[in-house]
Structure 1
Amino acid sequence: MSYKNNRTGYQKQLLGSRSVVKAGNFALIPNDGLVKNNVPGFENVDVSIMGTPRLGAHFVDYIASFQKGGKHTGFGGEGIETVAYVVSGKLKVSDGKEENILTDGGYAYFPESVIMTMENAQDEPTEVFLYKKRYQPIAGHKAYKIVGNTHDRAPQDYEGMTDVHLWDFLPTDDLGFDMNMHILAFEPGASHAYIETHYQEHGAYLISGSGMYNLDNGWYPVEKGDYLYMGSYSPQAAYAVGRGEPLAYVYSKDANRDPEI
């Protein structure tokens, strides 16, 4: 086993971590201390497994650094939908019929049972946030492949606030999609308007900035490189702090489905 930050051996400082894990409720997992996992299908890729059912999630998230020549031979599977978001670098994705090159801010959604192959399209490492979930079908509606880039789209002012911006990856009013992926960005000093408490769960990867995050009514410092899991009904909200860049994160949300009983 090796570590994402490659820090091993004797340490000069006392051991400590900002990690907080409350399975089924919430988790804050900093970049420091993440392990590199050997996962079938990934070749020459440093991959850390993040949100999973063991944590309480109904999805699986990965943070993957594709090295030179790094690839995945087939992401997804029968009944599984997938998303790849490029944090930095250049990634080639294919559904076996069409190839697309994703650069910084680029994303690809593949519907259920469409296998995604991925390959680093540059010599330098490419960092990717990956998501997969078992699709919940609904009669008369169907999801479809979507490829885009957030840099090509104007953000929305989030709930009327001009210093909080939202990018949607997928259509929000199409019942064919049982989830969505977004980026939410808070300028320094901005925040949610209220503490959210809702049925939907999130997996989030912080891509810039720093701030304080409310998780189950406890406030925790967060920064770029952190991963957050927020379970159903776990209170949540953010304040952005720092200078020069927004607190921004890419995150998933289940949507457009009635809870099962």
Structure 2
Amino acid sequence: MGYPKDLLSSRSIIEHGKYALIAPEGLVNNVIPGFENCTISILASPKLGASFVDYMVTMHKGGRNAAGFGGQENIETFVYVLEGKIKASTDQQEFTLEESGYLYCPPGTKMYLENVADEDARLFLYKQKYRPLEGKKPWVYSSHANHIEYRIYDNMHNVHIKDLLPTDLDFDMNFHILSFDPAACHPFIETHVQEHGAYLLSGEGMYNLDNKWVPVKKGDYIFMGPYVHQAAYAVGRESLTYVYSKDCNRDAEL
């Protein structure tokens, strides 16, 4: 980065256990064993108050994780390709993923990642503990978000959503893409038990986080904890679109 060109400042906001806005210019690199020729930043983790871990991964030419990611009996993983072209595989299956491509691996299944192009590949990577349900078991699932049709969100024709994973009870989480046309917004300020980790794919907007309106834009990361107020307005000339995780399909535990 070199010497700063102005006074040090940041748009990032951290409220541990509640929410966080992390601007890309403030990210630092983390060394994660198993990842070779990669630049990685840990975005959210239990240290922030999240029950999951989100990463931003840049795989340089020849970058890979030959040792595998996840694979423990209680850990599920997910990768979404933001840019570039990668090979994503398990011990039994192999997938070629380009922009908007993704792969989910259930507990006990290792995910292997490799950049197969000369250019960098950028990945949004996730892991969390799976909550088992008697008689249910998730499976390896892969597709491309660009191949999935949007559906209207909550009866509003200027807001659209995609489900990236099956909605079966076998899965205890899902990933979605939510897109707001310019000037569109949520129908109300949400307050719910689910938590989210969201990466902004395009646009600009104002996001309500714990009843504080915060400006956000493409490249930002947002963590939203349980019961934190949340809602968005899209501003500008481009749709405000983000990919995000959500825990679902399980009862609250005592």
Q: Deviations over 1:110-146 (max 9, x none)?
A: 1111000000121101111000001111101111111
Written as runs of structure 1 = structure 2, the 5 A alignment for 1:230-241 is 230-241=224-235
2:174 aligns with: 180
Map 1:52-63; keep pairs closer than 5 Å: 52-63=45-56
Residue number in structure 2 paired with 1:4: none
Residue of structure 1 in register with 2:186 after alignment: 192
CA RMSD of aligned residues (A): 0.8
TM superposition shift of 1:12: 2.5
Please give the per-residue CA displacement for 1:191-215, whole angstroms capped at 9, x wherever unaligned: 1010000000000111111111000
Match of 1:96 among 91, 99, 103: 91
How does the TM-score come out when normalised to structure 1? 0.95
Give every structure 1 segment of 4 or more consecutive aligned residues whose post-TM-superposition deviation is greater than 4 Å. none
Q: Distance in 2 between matches of 1:59 and 1:12?
A: 35
1:24 CA drift (Å)? 0.5
Paired residue for 1:258? 251
Matched residue, 1:45: 38
Tell me, yes or no, if the aligned pair for 2:12 and 2:26 is still in contact at 8 Å: no
Which residue pairs with 2:110 in the alignment?
Answer: 115
Residue 251 of structure 1: SS of its match in structure 2? strand
CA distance in 1, matches of 2:51, 2:40: 20
SS in 1 for 2:26: coil
Structure 1 residue 96: deviation in Å?
A: 1.4
Between the aligned partners of 1:57 and 1:72, the Cα distance in structure 2 is 24
Measure, in 2, the Cα distance between the counterparts of 1:68 and 1:61: 22
- 2:154 paired residue number: 159
Structure 1 position 131 matched with structure 2 position 126? yes
From 204, 211, 225, the counterpart of 2:205: 211
Aligned sequence identity (%): 54
1:3 — aligned with what?
none
How far apart are 1:8 and its partner, in Å?
2.8
Pick from 226, 237, 245: which aligns with 2:220?
226
Spell out, residue by residue over 1:198-239, the C-alpha distance to the aligned partner (whole angstroms, 9 max, x if none).
000000111111111000000001011111000000000000
Tell me which amino acid in the other structure corresponds to 1:81. Answer: E
| TM-score normalized with structure 2 length | 0.97
Cα deviation 1:51-73 (Å, max 9, x = unaligned)? 10000011000011111001112
Q: Post-superposition shift, 1:14? A: 1.2
Equivalent pairs, count: 252
Q: Which amino acid aligns with 1:38?
A: V
Distance of 2:215 and 2:75 partners within structure 1:
34
Query: What CA deviation, in whole Å up to 9, does each residue of 1:80-112 have, x standing for no partner?
Result: 100000011111111011110011111111111
Tell me if 1:146 matches 2:146: no
CA distance in 1, matches of 2:181, 2:116: 32
Contiguous gaps of at least 5 residues in structure 1: 1-6
SS in 1 for 2:24: coil
